[in-house]
């Protein structure tokens, strides 16, 4: 039987190994290139394909279908909103944007999506989604109409993650926002990892092998890279090499 997505992240955390997810935003990948991108990620050693985006200009379900058909690794929906659901995927991150105070992203979208998700057969993974200031106003900040946690306030980030843990979330996603000029500070990741046992995902603004390595060293089990690989698809090999060193 296939290992569930959450189990494989938890097992990596326990083993001290690291994982890499490539984010595919269907709006930024023409449908006729999706199969090629998917094969590229699988062949080079990505662990997961995350699918999601802020808007919905293209067919989300169509994109997930093509990705899943061509993928040998789990396909995980990382939704921008309740419209981004497809039973073709393997898992769904049920994100609660707990750094913000917008009820729509704390419970409203979840209720809107509930019937579809309940009946989808997808592995649903409740996830604390924590936006940390990455030096740029990002789409997630604007679309959610929430304020990120200041990057130099690791205690607030930790308190937020603690609240998420006590609410029963299974993952903590520390997000600087897609295309952020700075990733989540390693000190913030470390501060949370030192106090909370839940696996940490770090994403947003990771562009270099050093930034990726810093995210892992400071305690992230899974890193997510999108923009850098959209701009430089050939950079995936060096990122995978960083992951393999752990």
H/E stretch holding 222 reads strand 222-225
Alpha carbon separation from 175 to 24, 64, 113 (Å, rounded): 16, 23, 22
Length of the chain as a residue count: 246
Does 228 contact ligand 1GP by CB under 6 A?
yes
CB 8 within 8 A of CB 36: no
User: b/e map of 50-66 (b: 16 or more CB within 10 Å)?
Assistant: bbbbbeeebebeebbbb
Minimum gap (Å) between residue 119 Cβ and ligand 1GP: 27
Q: SS3 of 225, please? A: strand
Subset of 7-46 contacting ligand 1GP (CB under 6 A)? 23
Q: In this chain, which stretch among 6-14, 31-39, 171-179, 184-192 interacts with ligand 1GP, using CB under 6 A? A: 171-179
Percent helix, strand, coil in the chain, to 5, is 45, 20, 40
> Which one, 14 or 52, has the nearer CB to ligand 1GP?
52
Q: Which stretch binds ligand 1GP (CB under 6 A): 5-13, 63-71, 110-118, 200-208?
A: 200-208
The rounded distance, in Å, linking the Cα atoms of 233 and 50 is: 16
Question: Which are the contacts of 37, defined by CB distance < 8 A and separation ≥ 6?
Answer: 24, 29, 233
Q: Kindly tell me which residue out of 45, 126, 135, 179 binds ligand 1GP, with binding defined by CB under 6 A.
A: 179
Q: How far is the CB of 244 from ligand 1GP (least distance, A)?
A: 20
Which of 154, 203 has the CB closer to ligand 1GP? 203
Q: Which range, of 7-15, 125-133, 192-200, 222-230, touches ligand 1GP by CB under 6 A?
A: 222-230
178 is an interface residue for ligand 1GP by CB under 6 A: yes
List 92's β-bridge partners, or say none.
77, 124
Tell me how far, at minimum, the Cβ of 227 lies from ligand 1GP, in Å: 3
Residue from 227, 233, 235, 240 touching ligand 1GP (CB under 6 A): that is 227
Cβ proximity to ligand 1GP: between 29 and 228 the closer is 228
Q: Residues in the site for ligand 1GP, rule: CB under 6 A?
A: 23, 175, 178-180, 203-206, 224-228
């Amino acid at each position: 039987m296939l290992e569930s997505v959450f189990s494989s992240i938890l097992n990596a955390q326990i083993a001290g190994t690291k994982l890499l997810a490539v984010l595919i935003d269907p709006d930024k990948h023409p449908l006729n290139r999706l199969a090629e991108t998917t094969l590229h990620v699988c062949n080079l050693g990505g662990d997961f394909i995350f699918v999601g985006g802020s808007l919905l200009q293209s067919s989300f379900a169509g994109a997930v279908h093509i990705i899943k058909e061509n993928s040998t690794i789990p396909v995980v929906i990382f939704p921008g909103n309740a419209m981004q659901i497809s039973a073709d995927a393997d898992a769904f991150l049920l994100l609660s944007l707990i750094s913000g105070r917008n009820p729509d992203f704390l419970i409203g979208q979840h209720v809107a999506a509930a019937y579809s998700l309940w009946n989808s057969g997808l592995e649903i993974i409740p996830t604390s989604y924590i936006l940390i200031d990455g030096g740029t106003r990002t789409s997630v900040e604007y679309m959610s109409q929430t304020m990120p946690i200041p990057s130099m306030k690791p205690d607030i980030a930790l308190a937020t993650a603690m609240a998420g843990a006590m609410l029963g979330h299974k993952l903590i996603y520390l997000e600087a926002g897609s295309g952020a000029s700075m990733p989540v500070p390693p000190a913030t990741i470390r501060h949370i990892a030192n106090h909370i046992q839940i696996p940490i995902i770090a994403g947003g603004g990771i562009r270099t092998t050093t930034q990726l390595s810093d995210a892992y060293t400071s305690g992230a089990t899974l890193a997510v890279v999108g923009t850098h690989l959209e701009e430089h698809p050939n950079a995936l090999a060096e990122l995978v090499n960083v992951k393999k060193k752990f």
